[in-house]
Structure 1
């Protein structure tokens, strides 16, 4: 069994450090290898890894403990809950790195991709384009193979020319646009609402027809306020919840 090694993250000083650290560590826990130890490094070791104070690290660990992902024992250390892969909430976060981290622990299947006429409901996001590129993916839990969500991304054609579909199996669209295509992302606007599963969603997510799902729409904008990508994602309602944390300072 190998020791648990958390991923690294570039911290955004405009967001609470404990929050960013907790979400990075959360992604590492959910995406861990079956051979990884369930015991976490010490608070001091984790603080050094992330470049934060021990006090900040304790606050981050408390967030994960409250979520049920870890347990802390005096003198024994901190341990990952063996069931941590199941039922983890999805959070709407304040940085692109944190959004990318949310996809850890998932396997992705690219169902199809191509070019379509701009859907009527998205015409306002792509006023200069008659067509957009579309990519349809199904995400499943890495360990169980259970489907958790399916996503359709609608991307500006000039950006799609630089996208290798194979990259979308490895990474979220946000990371591909920023790190591979080189697009400058200024903000992402998220909308979440409750809906009932249509026939396609019921089939892909293996849930009964008309069962509750979470319908997410995320619009990614460039520095000029133009839409780069619109993501429409359907999450299984029995597997995910959304939490928004607001920094009051």
Structure 2
């Protein structure tokens, strides 16, 4: 089946474009490559803090018609309300748009808009953050659609992350398209996912094996000798 978003293309800077994106590694990669295409049903975007992962996902979301803060697709958001419209253009497939944009930093506000009428007739603010995210995924990520997730692991236990992995894999198998920004090696392990890793040096590695990602290797090293790694990091931070 055709993806809901086929690619993200760089635009020439215009007067109203946010010029700070010129220094963001992910957007430097986009300008150099001109187009980033989405081939797999699941694309996982990772990399260190500050490389522009979330901003890149925001550019995709607003082009697809999702509100800047996230939430369900309603078709009411005007992408011209967001300055990233002048930096990148996401091209859509032929399928009518539907889905959800889950954004960790603004999820509290989005959850509040439902009040007592969230899917399942619940109040999401009466749940913990992790329970609320799990509820939204299980009750709103339903049917074919475009599901964009920015650091969904925030607030989720290790076991809940594995549960989300299973939910997202099932969605991808049913024809949905999923694009995730994450630091979680668990979510990077979704079967069939195309893993992208951006670096602070404005490089992009695509099709990375899970075991080759920085996040996985760091976690592996920690588990091999947690006490030594903890002491090492304490010394490093003390000297910085």
**TM-score, normalised with respect to structure 1:** 0.29
Compare the two structures and name the one with the higher strand fraction. 1
Compare the two structures and name the one with the higher helix fraction. 2
Using CA pairs below 8 Å that are at least 6 residues apart, which structure has the higher relative contact order?
2
**TM-score, normalised with respect to structure 2:** 0.30
* Structure label with greater radius of gyration: 1
